[in-house]
Structure 1
Amino acid sequence: MPRSSLGLRIPKGMHDILPDELALQERAEASALDLFKAWAYQKVVTPTLEYGACIQPVEEEGDSFFKLFDRQGHVLVLRPELTTPIARMVSTRMRGTAFPLRLCYAADVFRYSKSHKQEFRQVGVELIGSASPAADAEVVALAIEALRKIGGMGFQINLGHMGIFKGIMAELGVPQEFQLHYQEKLARKDFVGIERLVKDYGFELKIQDVLLKLPHLHGKEDMLDQVLEWSRRPSLLEAVDALRQVYQYLKIFGVQDYVSLDLGILRGFSYYTGAVFEGYVPGVGFPVVEGGRYDSLYGEFGEDAPATGFAINLKAIIEQMTCSNAEIPEVLVYGSDVSKVIAEARKLRQPGKRVEMCLESFTQEQAVESANRKGIKEVVCAR
């Protein structure tokens, strides 16, 4: 029975991966994982499906998750990221493991989003059990090294701190309703919307000035002096000092030139508490690297531990790269006797060559024509 037109399509946001695209993805993924392991990170795998109670303890309207039900009526979620599933795993199956614990992964994640395809490949790391700014610097430096290994393309890392934003909002004393709207527009870099929102609330000019300047505060370390002119709250001073330390450690890692401080960064997941960062590459209008500190998440699973990490959107990066023909066969074996063709192909594969064999009796002319059509450079006759 023929398939319907729907049967010839795939769900919106899902994707097939063709041979050249998959070869590119696998090489990028392998280079990232090799790097992570060289930095003492161990690879783990979590389930594609998690209970909704793990991913989202409290139901929220308009979330970005793919949901379904099991036969007992429990809500299941296709993992939207790996940080929370790894927190569950560490707090249960790895409880008692010596900290700091360094874990890495490569997996597909699933999200409804305006900026992302619904299914995409991530590689990333989680560093669990250290509250030191050196831990934050390690994951930022590792993200930079991973981008260098994966693509060698131009990129920019923007680094901020959630504590600075919270401290400024507390100092200004703005209403919670305004803060939520402002935060949402700031996360989307909606500068026109921010200006309209600030004007509509009718704050005094001094408060308006700070709210309109904050989204544009980015640059090097001296930019933090501007923040200290607005407030000397202890929590804000602590956040500024922590960000300075991270930035100084990045200089020792030799990657500071890739990093710009940006106080307009607010990560999309609610669990971030400290230093946060994003990475951008040319041609992509959203961050391809997302990361930061999340010191409260493990407490929700009964294992109180500080943590930091990042994820790289491999799908977005690979779409900016050129596929190569590195995976096509190197040799085509042909002949009038298929048994001899099989034997010759086996012999040529032993040293590691990629060999395709003709499954029917071919003349030399037919074999050369087939090789040219497929891009195979060498033709061997089995005798």
Structure 2
Amino acid sequence: MPRWLLPENISDVLPSEARRIEELRRRLLDLYRSYGYELVMPPMIEHIDSLLTGSGRDLGLRTFQLVDQMSGRTLGLRADITPQVARIDAHMLNRDGVARLCYAGSVLHTRAASPFASREPMHVGAELYGHAGLAADLEIIELLVRSLAVAGCGKVRLDLCHVGIVPALLSLHGPVPGVDEEDLYALLQGKDQPGLAEALVAAPAALRDALLSLPGLHGRIAVGGAPAGIGARAGGDPLARARRLLPQTGPSSEALDRLERLAASPMWLRWPEVEVSVDLADLRGYRYHNGITFAAYVESMPFAVARGGRYDDAGRVFGRARPATGFSLELRALADLQPEQPPARAIAAPWSDDHALAMVVEALRASGEIVIQALPGSERDQQEFTCDRELVADEHGRWIVRELKQG
């Protein structure tokens, strides 16, 4: 095997793509800072029991594990950053009241999420701790929508769900005999009606009917008091249908109430480019979520470019359960949507140990210019910059910038 080959679904990031990723990362972190979010940088590696807290089987299968030669304990290379930020909020910061945190970094997956996905995605995200009210969910969703606008995504479809509905149904009627809960979630999120019907044969009739209805409870909804529009699903608003088909008791009814209050917010009227849908079987993601969740889709991408939601109990194992909601974006996927930019303009300069030249070059760079000094013998090197000006000495020996003749 050639030494330069990389593992499957792992790739280098070359200059032009790296520049797009880095510039987008900076714009997003600046956006989050303008909302009061503080940057944290969790480590790439942690003890495995800390990384996988409350996350379910899927995250465990995606996490690379190894033995620490210093302690003998099992370590994991992070496959998700949210549990790490929950640990920081609960144990390291230990603040009272609201905490707003953001992050940007790579994660590593043992298996790719899809055939063409990277196993080293770059995640950027924001998390809000310490507020259980709808206002926190609205702020996080607003920040997500503005993030996608910064990335130039144009039209966005946002799918809403509430992962508390299935646990509410199971607590009301008891577990499904002979069916593992993770397998049940996989059938629901895959909208596998035949497989779901077969798995629920021994379930109580009320539970079976409710679970079988979930994959069909999806479609565009009315938001902010506006009509659902042409894209609304035939048969009516999915939340209204959910009221008819699901038990209207306790947590299940409260989950629908919260989704309806979220949909009624006037903030949606500010974003005509956002189409809002509900999908009550969209249970993808990790098991630490326990409330409203959402996934964002954009044109030309077959998978969600962002996911998020509420995960109020994620910090419990670290000693402090706190209300929490947040989201993460796949930075490399969003960078791929950025339009190609022309090469950056630069100034060509000769190599010399002339002190006056060095001072001029330093001043130009301090003012924001790109100055490329050609090393002896490398005047024609290829690069991603366009040198449209050059530094030359005038008749008095002063270094000046002049337009470079093209061709």
Q: Name the TM-score class by shorter chain.
A: 0.7 to 0.9
Answer with 306-315 or 257-266: which moved more: 257-266
Deviation at 1:150, TM superposition (A): 1.6
Is 1:349 matched with 2:365?
Answer: yes
**RMSD, matched Cα:** 3.1
Matches within 5 A, 1:48-67: 48-56=44-52, 63-67=61-65
Q: Contact between 1:198 and 1:211, CA under 8 Å: does it hold in 2?
A: no
Deviation at 1:179, TM superposition (A): 5.3
Q: Which residue, 27, 35, 39 being the options, matches 1:39?
A: 35
> 1:238 maps to which residue?
254
1: CA distance, partners of 2:338 / 2:187: 31
> 1:289 maps to which residue?
306
Identity of aligned residues (%): 27
1: CA distance, partners of 2:322 / 2:249: 26
Count of residues in Structure 1 that have an aligned counterpart in Structure 2: 368
Matched position secondary structure for 1:376: strand
Q: Contact between 1:51 and 1:76, CA under 8 Å: does it hold in 2?
A: yes
Between Structure 1 and Structure 2, the one with more helix by share is: 1
1: CA distance, partners of 2:165 / 2:124: 28
Q: Give the partner amino acid of 1:88.
A: R
The change in CA–CA distance for 1:331 and 1:139 in structure 2 (over 3 A counts) is same
Unpaired segments ≥5 residues, structure 2:
223-236, 395-407
2: CA distance, partners of 1:263 / 1:318: 30
Is 1:132 matched with 2:133?
Answer: yes
- TM-score of the pair, normalised by structure 2: 0.80
Answer with 50-59 or 234-243: which moved more: 50-59
Q: Which residue, 94, 105, 108 being the options, matches 1:107?
A: 105
Q: Contact between 2:217 and 2:242, CA under 8 Å: does it hold in 1?
A: no
Answer with 9-18 or 262-271: which moved more: 9-18
2: CA distance, partners of 1:265 / 1:122: 21
Matches within 5 A, 1:81-230: 81-95=80-94, 97-115=95-113, 116-168=117-169, 175=176, 177=179, 180-187=182-189, 190-191=190-191, 193-199=192-198, 201-202=200-201, 211-218=211-218, 219-221=220-222, 222-230=237-245
Matches within 5 A, 1:328-367: 328-334=344-350, 339=354, 342=358, 345-360=361-376
**C-alpha distance after superposition, 1:201-232 (max 9, x if no partner):** 55799877654542232221542121111221
Q: Give the partner amino acid of 1:237.
A: S
Matched position secondary structure for 1:160: strand
> 1:259 maps to which residue?
276
Deviation at 1:104, TM superposition (A): 0.6
Matched position secondary structure for 2:9: coil
1: CA distance, partners of 2:291 / 2:183: 21
Answer with 245-254 or 55-64: which moved more: 55-64
Deviation at 1:16, TM superposition (A): 1.7
1: CA distance, partners of 2:383 / 2:50: 54
Matched position secondary structure for 1:321: coil
Q: Which residue, 48, 66, 69 being the options, matches 2:67?
A: 69
The change in CA–CA distance for 1:164 and 1:140 in structure 2 (over 3 A counts) is same
2: CA distance, partners of 1:373 / 1:251: 42
**C-alpha distance after superposition, 1:307-328 (max 9, x if no partner):** 11110111112223344245x4
Unpaired segments ≥5 residues, structure 1:
none
2: CA distance, partners of 1:47 / 1:91: 16
Q: Contact between 2:158 and 2:294, CA under 8 Å: does it hold in 1?
A: yes
1: CA distance, partners of 2:77 / 2:32: 25
The change in CA–CA distance for 1:93 and 1:205 in structure 2 (over 3 A counts) is closer
1: CA distance, partners of 2:100 / 2:391: 49
> 2:78 maps to which residue?
79
